[in-house]
Structure 1
Amino acid sequence: MKNSLKKIFHFFFRIIFAKLLMPKPHTKIRKILLSGYTGLGHFILKSVLIQKIEELYPGVKIYIITGNSFGNEFVLDNYPAFILKQESGTLKKNIFFLKLRREKFDAIIMPIDAAPPFLIRGSILAGIPVRVGHIFSDEYIPDYYYTIKVPLKLRKIRSELDINYDLLAALSSRRITRDYKPFVNMHLNGNALQKFGLQRGKYVCLQIGSSNGMVTTKRWLEENFKSLIERLAKDFPGFKIVTIGDTGDSEVVNNVCRNISSVNFLNLAGKTTLNEVKSLISNSKLLICHDSGLLHLGNALKKNTIAIYGPSDPDIYAVNLSTCHIIRKRISCSPCQGLFPGKFSFLTEEESAKLCPVPECMKAVTVDSVYNKCVELLNVNQLVV
């Protein structure tokens, strides 16, 4: 019965919205919608598409569609964004997309991690004639959803940036040169340093939490962070140690920071906006973080970044950045998480956490290894920020 209803729905939806009410594609692309309906880090890796779109289509107007809790609208806030609340019901979503018809978009690009089914259907309701997205064997996607279907290539190790670029190459029907340096706009919050009593280049940003406090195996051990903070605060009195993170990270961060009394330590986790975090990282001497959105933010800001890795593999683009310093200890079972956890036979972070509550790969990363890299980066070019 359920399958029959689905078939009926798709039959009428396709006839009415994907055919009868669908505008004809323009010969020239003038207005593109890019899906940012994904986490912060994944969205930052889509920034390379924007520069390339502007290069391929001079004068094009680019808009972003995203949810209300990702913060992606602040990453590239010089580009207009449509915010669709994640908690919206079906009716509100449909109304949202029907109103979007007045924008008359020529095309929408929906990368694999930013293409929930409601968004693909919504792009049809919005009358967007050219819809570009990935197809892959693990998931059924109705034939009419995308007008340009791009097979997902995962047979060899590839950068997520390349996976995104594949969509644009298919849309433009040409080979494109690929740049592997994500970016964010530099409209930084100039008041952040003054607000928190910090001086440019005189502090280190530290991410203790991860995944906004949700279950994850990518988090380094709390006792290791405590030891690292105490050593840095003692050995580098000229630098403040500043913790940053989402509101959901506060409990984890507070557990670590509760008994740290150094005057060189400042806990800002859950106390900043994303724009303030962007400014804090940009003006810091160094960022220490996990495999997370803040890692990609630090890389995009061209900041010296120490990235602590465990159950996941670093993206090739990050490995090749001179400012990204990856610390990891390979063990027999790592990596156990793929590029997109929960897809393609890889475990979700929740599943990984059940199997391995205290990941051996994260335990294997010693305080000394992180501390020694901090010493190297804080002592070199001490006067250059």
Structure 2
Amino acid sequence: MREIRYILVNFPTNLGDTILSFPAFDLIKENYPSSEIDAIVSSKTENFLSYHKFINQIFIYEKRWRIKEKIAFLKRLRKKYDLMVDFKNSFLPFLLRIKKHTPVIRRFSKDIHAKDRYLKIVENLVKKRKISLKAEFVLDEERKNFWYSLNLDNAVFVAPSSNSSLKRYPPHELEELLSFLSSKKKVILLGSKKDSSLYRQISLSSVINLMGKTSFLDVWFLLKNFACICICVDSSILHLASYLNIPTVALFGPTQEEIYGPYSEKSVVIRKNLKCAPCKNSTCPYSGECMKISADRVVEAVEKILKE
């Protein structure tokens, strides 16, 4: 059997899906510890994956490229790799003439979790099925020291927003939740600069507001080192908290928790009991009623998990 010295991994386009593929990627590294791994990434994941310790080199690929750019990309990578892990199920393994690769025909049961779909994709390429490795990222010492200086130990992290407006936790409910939590614990609010403007009308004086002040690399470091629990909607932060096995309270509305829910050892999903949810739609005729989950329910779930 030919030695697997060079591996190419084609990661999903979006950050959330990429994080869901991490357990499968860990399994590849576990089974090929001496192999050099390069990665094809998108502009959405480049800034995060470029700091991944398992990855030797990244190559950016964009679907919108012209034919000439795509051909140049293929020529650059052709005949270099012994194995390709294609999480996107593209034609790249054939275009790059890589003989050993993940299967093209993929069949999954309807409600299999997204993380487990990626694990099934690589199952025929591995012998060891138990994962002992976990991704590590390089954060510079100055940035680490800055976060350590804030004394954030044992904090509650709240990530109320998502790229999809339908999955966001409403401002009124968030304000009530933060008011109660901050009277008991140190509370850190995570999100983008856009999220900061979305919640600008509520009082955030009682919490440490990091919206728009962190990279996703920072979020990884903060959750890994300081979180006692994470409260979040269906988002990339939820998937990262699950990957890091952080106790999680997940607030779900239009999406299915069976496919995208938390998988931390201590986790719970809260949703409103509505006939229309989960709808899996991109628009809502009911003003996002499914995400109007009372703060009391969230607090109750948090207290229960922290007592376990």
The two structures have a TM-score, normalised by structure 2, of: 0.83
For 2:268 and 2:140, how far apart are their aligned partners in 1? 26
The residue that corresponds to 1:290 in the other structure is: 233
- 1:243 and 1:267 in contact (8 A); partners too: yes
1:231 partnered with 2:208: no
Q: Structure 1: give runs of 5+ residues left out of the alignment.
A: 1-25, 133-147, 338-346
- Measured against aligned partners, the alpha-carbon deviations of 1:265-291 in whole angstroms (never above 9, x if no partner) come to 222112112221111112123211111
Post-superposition shift, 1:35?
A: 1.4
The alignment of Structure 1 onto Structure 2 pairs a total of residues equal to 304
- Measured against aligned partners, the alpha-carbon deviations of 1:144-185 in whole angstroms (never above 9, x if no partner) come to xxxx4223223x42122332233223446x8x7466x99432
For 1:169 and 1:374, how far apart are their aligned partners in 2? 35
Is the alpha carbon distance of 1:193 and 1:328 closer, same or farther for their aligned partners in structure 2, counting shifts above 3 Å? farther
After TM superposition, the structure 1 = structure 2 runs for residues 355-374 of structure 1, keeping only pairs within 5 Å, are 355-356=284-285, 358-363=287-292, 365-374=293-302
Is the alpha carbon distance of 1:320 and 1:367 closer, same or farther for their aligned partners in structure 2, counting shifts above 3 Å? same
1:216 partnered with 2:165: yes
Match of 2:75, SS?
helix
The residue that corresponds to 2:275 in the other structure is: 332
Post-superposition shift, 1:292?
A: 0.9
Post-superposition shift, 1:186?
A: 5.8
Post-superposition shift, 1:298?
A: 1.0
For 2:262 and 2:61, how far apart are their aligned partners in 1? 35
The residue that corresponds to 1:17 in the other structure is: none
The residue that corresponds to 2:83 in the other structure is: 107
1:162 partnered with 2:147: no
Question: Which of 246, 266, 269 is 1:303 aligned to?
Answer: 246
- 2:253 and 2:271 in contact (8 A); partners too: yes
Post-superposition shift, 1:130?
A: 3.6
- 1:309 and 1:326 in contact (8 A); partners too: yes
For 1:218 and 1:152, how far apart are their aligned partners in 2? 28
Post-superposition shift, 1:193?
A: 6.2
The residue that corresponds to 1:128 in the other structure is: 98
Is the alpha carbon distance of 1:209 and 1:371 closer, same or farther for their aligned partners in structure 2, counting shifts above 3 Å? same
Post-superposition shift, 1:374?
A: 2.9
Is the alpha carbon distance of 1:299 and 1:187 closer, same or farther for their aligned partners in structure 2, counting shifts above 3 Å? farther
Post-superposition shift, 1:242?
A: 1.9
For 1:319 and 1:207, how far apart are their aligned partners in 2? 14
The residue that corresponds to 1:29 in the other structure is: 4
1:242 partnered with 2:185: no
- Measured against aligned partners, the alpha-carbon deviations of 1:311-355 in whole angstroms (never above 9, x if no partner) come to 112247956532223222332122222xxxxxxxxx4xxxx32x3
The residue that corresponds to 1:185 in the other structure is: 136
Give the letter aligned to residue 167 of structure 2. K
1:198 partnered with 2:144: no
The residue that corresponds to 1:342 in the other structure is: none
For 1:366 and 1:75, how far apart are their aligned partners in 2? 38
Is the alpha carbon distance of 1:75 and 1:287 closer, same or farther for their aligned partners in structure 2, counting shifts above 3 Å? farther
Q: Structure 2: give runs of 5+ residues left out of the alignment.
A: none
Give the letter aligned to residue 227 of structure 2. S
For 1:274 and 1:54, how far apart are their aligned partners in 2? 22
Bigger RCO of structures 1 and 2 (CA < 8 A, at least 6 apart): 2
The residue that corresponds to 2:255 in the other structure is: 312
Post-superposition shift, 1:370?
A: 0.7
After TM superposition, the structure 1 = structure 2 runs for residues 33-48 of structure 1, keeping only pairs within 5 Å, are 33-48=8-23
Give the letter aligned to residue 369 of structure 1. R
For 2:29 and 2:146, how far apart are their aligned partners in 1? 36
Give the letter aligned to residue 150 of structure 1. I
The two structures have a TM-score, normalised by structure 1, of: 0.68
Is the alpha carbon distance of 1:163 and 1:197 closer, same or farther for their aligned partners in structure 2, counting shifts above 3 Å? same
Is the alpha carbon distance of 1:184 and 1:306 closer, same or farther for their aligned partners in structure 2, counting shifts above 3 Å? farther
For 1:243 and 1:192, how far apart are their aligned partners in 2? 18
- 1:285 and 1:304 in contact (8 A); partners too: yes
Post-superposition shift, 1:69?
A: 1.9
- 1:299 and 1:323 in contact (8 A); partners too: no
- Measured against aligned partners, the alpha-carbon deviations of 1:77-106 in whole angstroms (never above 9, x if no partner) come to 33224231548622333322211226x112
Post-superposition shift, 1:198?
A: 2.2
- 2:106 and 2:121 in contact (8 A); partners too: no
